[in-house]
């Protein structure tokens, strides 16, 4: 069964460093998302991506964040200068985007720890 994959599973970085989180969405899906979940808190929407551009971003998704789909398969989230408060689980998700049914399929997540 196709699934969303994410690498790395864990990332530890120093404050101020750049990190790139990678995702491979399900191949025939059209919509891609990044979510963040700080330990013990709710799932927070960061950004959605469709047709090779950002379709919506949240207030969290400031200039420190960027997304890219550099080739036909990968979908990346870059944090330019990490802050302590960026420590969280980052989930990538994709959805078919066709018809009414819009189930989002989540990857296993990347646990980011900023020291």
Q: Which two tokens stand for residue 97?
A: 């985007």
For position 60 contacting other proteins by CB under 8 A, the verdict is no
Site for other proteins in 62-101 (CB under 8 A): 89, 91, 95, 97, 100-101
Q: Is residue 45 a contact partner of residue 35, using CB atoms and an 8 Å limit? A: yes
Q: Is residue 90 a contact partner of residue 113, using CB atoms and an 8 Å limit? A: no
For position 33 contacting other proteins by CB under 8 A, the verdict is yes
3 or 18: CB nearest other proteins: 3
In sequence order, what are the residues at sequence separation of 6 or more whose Cβ sits closer than 8 angstroms to the Cβ of residue 7?
22, 110
Contacts to other proteins by CB under 8 A: 31, 33, 42-45, 48, 50, 55-56, 89, 91, 95, 97, 100-109, 111
């Amino acid at each position: 069964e196709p699934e969303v994959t994410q690498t790395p599973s864990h990332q530890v970085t120093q404050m101020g460093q750049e990190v790139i989180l990678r995702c491979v969405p399900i191949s025939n899906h059209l919509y891609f998302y990044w979510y963040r979940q700080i330990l013990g808190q709710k799932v927070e929407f960061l950004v959605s991506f469709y047709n090779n551009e950002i379709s919506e971003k949240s207030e969290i998704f400031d200039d420190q964040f960027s997304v890219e789909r550099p080739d036909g398969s990968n979908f990346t989230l870059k944090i330019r200068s990490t802050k302590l408060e960026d420590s969280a689980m980052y989930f990538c998700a994709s959805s078919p985007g066709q018809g009414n049914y819009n189930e989002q399929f989540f990857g296993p997540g990347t646990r980011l720890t900023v020291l």
